Amino acid sequence: MSRVTAASRFGRVAVVYGGESVEREISLQSGHAVITAMRELDIDVSALEGIPALVKALAARKIDRIFNILHGGDGENGVVQGLAVAYDVPITGASVLGCALSMDKLRCKAVWQATDLPVASHRVVTADLSDADLLHDPGLPMVVKPVHEGSSVGVHIVKTEASLAQALSAAREFDSDIMAEVFVPGAEYTAAMVAGEILPLIRVETPHSFYDYSAKYQSDSTCYHCPCGLDAARERALQSVSSRAFAAVGIAGWGRLDFILDAQGEPVLLEINTAPGMTAHSLVPMAAAARGWDFKRLVWEILSTTVADAGRVDG
């Protein structure tokens, strides 16, 4: 259990949520859940909707630490983390660098490749790149996605030449930077990390073509398998790969890594979320439950990562 045993140790905690990204509605749900849990834990918590409210509270020196649950946008790209550093206030989640790298899928993949971690073959969609170029490399089927979005926003699987232009146009509605990568069929998994520990893996099964925004947050047909169905040795090996993936981009505190096991059973890393969902459909709370933690315990453990000498012990 956490070495933090008294709620008073956390001081005045601000939960920042909502924001202006396309993931705003999910962030509101996550924020409400976290705030409710903190109140039940007798933590001195204030609810701050959006970055302007956080800036005012920081300037007034009204908070001692931040629980960031802004999904996407400035909540995960290093902006909020930079504010916390500027005011010398501890914040949950990754560092400025870790967040910036994780939000930029291209640079995150480049770091993973440089450290011999497995990613799908991909390329940047530049203005001078023709559809014919993409049909040759990466070829069909391919995945078209915005570089700087999360929760599968703007992501499309392109299976036919006729659907390529529409997928590119849809992705550009969310980001000027677009990438295309080889589509890797296989089972989808997620690895949650809290305080350096990789929690039990979850296998995600959905009737959708992939684990898209609707499957993540709206569908009741998505199935989550935890235990994930792998033997213990294989799961430990994949947890080790996940740990390396987090460390490579400087992720500490907490986060979630998504990956696929290809036809040979080998992992292909997809992306890291540095402020994962904390809703009824969210994966980190599911993994925590398999670890033996209820939602309140999970919130406590995440918040404890902001206390310098509060490293966890087994329990």
> Rounded to whole angstroms, how far apart are CA atoms 267 and 83?
35
pLDDT in tens, 170-188: 888 888 889 999 999 999 9
Q: Note if 68 is an active site residue.
A: no
pLDDT mean over 247-262: 95
Percent of the chain residues topping a pLDDT of 70: 91
Kindly name the residue from 256, 282, 301, 304 that is annotated as catalytic.
256
At residue 84, the pLDDT reads 97
Rounded Cα–Cα distance for residues 231 and 116 (Å): 24
Report which of 156, 179, 150, 153 is spatially closest to residue 74, judged by C-alpha positions.
150
Is 122-182 the same fold as 101-118+185-301? no
Question: CA torsion 22→26→27→31, rounded to 10°?
Answer: 170
Do the beta carbons of residue 124 and residue 133 sit within 8 Å?
Answer: no
Average pLDDT over residues 116-144: 89
Residue 17 annotated as catalytic: no
The answer to whether 151 is a known catalytic residue is yes
Q: What dihedral do alpha carbons 302, 97, 244, 66 form, nearest 10°?
A: 0
pLDDT, tens digit, 9 for 90 and up, residues 84-110: 999 999 999 999 999 999 999 999 999
CA–CA separation, 292 and 151 (whole Å): 26
pTM of the model: 0.87
271 labelled catalytic = yes
Q: What is the pLDDT of residue 267?
A: 98
User: Which of 2, 95, 151, 152 does the annotation list as catalytic?
Assistant: 151
* Mean predicted lDDT score pLDDT of the chain: 90
At 290, phi and psi to the nearest 5? -65, -25
Distance of CA 130 to the CA centre of its chain: 32
Contacts of 19 (CB under 8 A, 6+ apart): 27, 50, 51, 70, 71, 72, 73, 74, 75
Provide, rounded to the nearest whole percent, the portion of the chain with pLDDT above 90: 73
Q: For tokens 């490293």, what's the residue?
A: 311
How far is Cα 108 from Cα 110, in angstroms, rounded to an integer?
5
pLDDT band at 58 (very low <50, low <70, confident <90, very high): very high
Please report how many Cα atoms fall inside a 13 Å half-sphere around the Cα of residue 136, on the Cβ side: 5
Residues whose CB is less than 8 angstroms from the CB of residue 260 and which lie 6 or more positions away in sequence, other chains included? 184, 185, 186, 187, 188, 189, 267, 268, 270
Q: Report pLDDT digits (tens) over 297-310.
A: 999 999 999 998 65
Q: Which of 212, 277, 282, 301 is catalytic?
A: 277
Report whether CATH 3.40.710.10 matches the domain 101-118+185-301. no
Give yes or no: 258 in active site: yes
Among this protein's residues, is 23 annotated catalytic?
A: yes
Q: Is 213 a catalytic residue?
A: no
Annotated active-site residue in 17, 189, 213, 217: 217
DSSP per position, 232-284: HHHHHHHHHHHHHHHHHTT--SEEEEEEEE-TTS-EEEEEEESS---STT-HH
Q: Which residues of 170-200 are buried (b: 16+ CB within 10 A; e: fewer)?
A: ebeebbebbbbbbbbebbbbbbbbbeeebbb
Q: Of the listed 271, 282, 301, 304, which one is catalytic?
A: 271
From 2, 23, 72, 212, the catalytic residue? 23
Return the domain boundaries, the chain: 7-92, 101-118+185-301, 122-182
Tell me the three state secondary structure of residue 294. Answer: coil
Contact 35, 48 (CB under 8 A): no
Q: What was the pLDDT predicted at 164?
A: 92
Which tokens in the block code for residue 91? 């914040």
> For domain 122-182, which architecture applies?
2-Layer Sandwich (3.30)
158: pLDDT strictly greater than 80: yes
pLDDT score at 210: 53
User: Mean pLDDT, to the nearest integer, of 62-75?
Assistant: 95
Q: Is 20 a catalytic residue?
A: no
Identify the active-site residue in 74, 235, 258, 301.
Answer: 258
Give the mean model confidence (pLDDT) for residues 12-30: 95
State which CATH number among 3.10.110.10, 3.40.50.920, 3.40.710.10, 3.40.50.20 fits the domain covering 7-92.
3.40.50.20
Rounded to a whole number of angstroms, the distance between the first and last alpha carbons of the chain is 4
